[in-house]
A and B are shown apart, each in its own frame.
Chain A
Amino acid sequence: MLDYLPIAVLIILATGLASLVVILGHLFGPKRYIETKMMPYESGVNPYGPGTRRMTVRYYMVAVLFILFDIEVIFFLPWAVVLRDFIDHSLGLFALIEMFVFIVILLVGYAYAWKKGALEWE
């Protein structure tokens, strides 16, 4: 657990340092409230309608694809670490075949997503 202590210290200090710089900017910068200046920027005209509005569904499809693939990709990491150990204990072929079965399952999902047009930006 002591290995992670420097990281915890760095989290606190990095956040603190970045906040400090922003606070310094607050101290040195002017603060003048002008109503038109505080409007959301919209190419010089008065903003039309709400600023946060609905996005197209395509962004959500990319997000769902990412969730599917990234979770599966994380399973590769422990396999990659121990592959050499498995080979040293003459279990290399077993490790390879196990992983290739997994990759084939991944590719079936990939092919399905491609066939369904989830990878297209139309």
Chain B
Amino acid sequence: MSDPVNLISEWFRELLLGWGLSSTLVQLISFAIGAVVVCLVAMTVVILLIWVERKIAGRIQDRLGPNRAGPFGLLQPFADVIKIMTKEMITPDGADSVPFNLAPVISVAAVLLIWAVIPFAATVVGADIHVGVLYIIAVGSFGIVAILMAGWSSNNKFALLGAARAVAQMVSYEVPMVLALLIPVLLAGSMGINGIVEAQNVWFILLAPIATLVFLITSMAEVGRAPFDLLEAESEIVAGFHTEYSGMKFGMFYVGEFLHVFTIGALIATFFLGGWRGPGAATYPILGFVYFYLKAFLGYFVITWVRLSLPRIRIDHMLAFSWKILTPLILVILMVTAILVKVLENANVWLFTLVMLTANVFIGWAAVQIMKQVEQSKPPQQTFEGRPVAMAPKPPASANS
């Protein structure tokens, strides 16, 4: 019942102890190696994801995507990394250089930190802490600080506008996101990530489809991708908070964004799609890795698909959607889930699933009906009848005569 990762770490620990190192030091060294492996795997996955994303984008937009460097264009992202390494990094005059240079580092480190608590397989988790959900919420918000630092220190109007928009957007979507994460916590009765995964005899997407949807939407807003890419809206504010960044510092923001999207996929897989669970994963932990990465990639693909399909939404619509629709909806779902957990405390798991699914579908349907009613009761939008917007000028009457 052991997996290769733990076998290797046990062997390595024995080896170091054999050299006469103290057990505390050996522990620290094995933690450090684990952390380096997590960071490097995440970075490598990001480099591959850049290729995957460009291929998907190409196919959706009826193009081929990268196909010159290497087989299927697989070497394209590596070429990009080498190119961006050799570009100049400009720190503009008047920029506040300490936060300006610190911001890209923080934006990557904040996302890497989330991977500390995600279980890859039954026995492989960096730190199985009891407050994993709280940790993810806390560390996930570090990215906002990086963006605010970047925008404020750039000494650029567009960067400042982008940062203000980013903070308003992320802060608004934080509230429904935390509420959506409460539902797996409530159903599992645990805040530890491994506890939540182990409680998913039935995947939580079946018990709480609306919470899954709300978490997907809010985390897309947290990452700031289309349709929520107001923070770098290139047709309005140049490039938003990273207008002044170039070279590898821009690359760090880019890597941070891709890594964050994949992390969101991993979080959806962990909280709602059963994490590493799957047929045979309990006996052969190595299968857990496969299931986990497949599910995480599924989440990533959905986010990319949405990004390539929808246009950017307006800022007032964006804020109203969070405060007026998602927050009340997820509060209602939370209350209903709590009541159902109490009422059906002795029920069969399949009956519980069926009731939860029905309740979620009903609440979703009711929410859509209420939104329709509200939209129809609004006064009709001002139209411009009798005032045509664009019309060819009439030829002067004397033209023909």
Residues of chain A whose beta carbon lies under 8 Å from any beta carbon of chain B = 3-7, 9-11, 13-15, 17-19, 21-22, 24-26, 28-32, 35, 37-43, 50-53, 55, 58-59, 62-63, 65-66, 69-70, 73-74, 76-77, 80-85, 87, 92-93, 96, 99-100, 103, 107, 110, 114, 119-122
Contact = CB atoms under 8 A, between A and B. Distances in A.
Query: Which secondary structure dominates chain B's binding surface?
Result: helix
A70 to B, nearest CB: 6
Chain B interface size band reads 35 or more
B252 interface: yes
Interface in B198-253: 238, 243-244, 247-249, 251-252
A4 B127 contact: yes
Nearest to A86: B342
Nearest to A78: B191
Contacts of B75: none
B39 A17 contact: yes
Nearest to A113: B323
Contact of B108 (A10, A14, A42, A65): A14
Contacts of A53: 157, 160
Contacts of A103: 331, 335
B99 to A, nearest CB: 12
12 contacts: A7-B135, A13-B35, A14-B39, A15-B109, A22-B248, A30-B88, A40-B155, A59-B164, A59-B168, A62-B172, A84-B186, A100-B335
Contact of B94 (A9, A19, A40): A40
B85 A81 contact: no
B175 A28 contact: no
Nearest to B34: A6
Given A29-B247, A83-B341, A85-B189, A42 B178 contact: no
Nearest to A61: B168
B338 A83 contact: yes
A40 to B, nearest CB: 4
A80 B185 contact: yes
Interface stretch (B4-12, B298-306, B314-322): B314-322
A122 B154 CA distance: 28
A84 B187 CA distance: 8
B53 interface: no
A87 B175 CA distance: 27
A122 B314 CA distance: 13
Contacts of B160: 51-53, 55
Interface in B275-295: none
A81 B113 contact: no
A76 B338 CA distance: 12
Contact of B249 (A22, A74, A87): A22
Given A41-B244, A83-B186, A96-B339, A7 B152 contact: no
B342 A92 contact: yes
A17 to B, nearest CB: 5
Of B35, B152, B238, B316, the most chain A CB neighbours within 10 A belong to B35
Nearest to B29: A9
